[in-house]
Amino acid sequence: MGTVTLGVSIAVPEPFGSLLQERRASFGDPAAHGIPTHVTLLPPTVAEAADLPAIETHLAQIAAAGRPFPMRLSGTGTFRPLSPVVFVQVVEGASACSWLQKRVRDASGPLVRELQFPYHPHVTVAHGIAEEAMDRAYEELSVYEAAWTCGSFALYEQGADSVWRKINEFPFGAGGSSPAVPAQGGSSVDRPFLHS
């Protein structure tokens, strides 16, 4: 059956997703139209195609344990000079994203992998392009704002044409629209949006 390149992410919904994708393209990023606007939970990972059913079961179990939570984007950040990336910041929902990505890569599941950098939820708007264009992305989107209730995450496969396509979406188990209770005080949050 061979291998597949997979990713797991939270899609940025419309109209925000298309707007940020168009802005990414306007900065000259050639990958803009091959990558849906998203917050990564699992970066590109090679897996055996035969493992897809087990992977989908794993992801469905993670989603069933969660519930919808508020997401808010605001302003820009960058990983330069460590990595040539400009991004829109996740200012609400980051702890839930962190919880999810840990479960996706859990040692007991089929998507175990180490990360190259510490996990930092974000929405990439420029990657690996000219410094001047990266500066423009950083400045022009510095006042960008978007907010929505995140109700699911999805599994994507990268095609031979380098385009990422959704294989399956995994809605959170609560099904309702009540957002998670955010962390209180300075406490460490391991399970910010589990069913109580």
Model confidence over 142-193: pLDDT tens digits?
A: 999 999 999 999 999 999 999 999 999 999 984 444 334 333 333 333 334 4
Task: Give me the pLDDT at residue 179, please.
Answer: 38
Percent with pLDDT over 90 in the chain: 80
- In this prediction the pTM is 0.85
CA–CA gap between residue 38 and residue 123 (Å, rounded)? 6
170-174, Cβ contacts within 8 angstroms, sequence gap of 24 or more: 170/59, 170/60, 170/62, 170/63, 171/63, 172/63, 172/64, 172/66, 172/67, 172/68, 173/63, 173/64, 173/65, 173/66, 173/67, 174/66, 174/67, 174/68
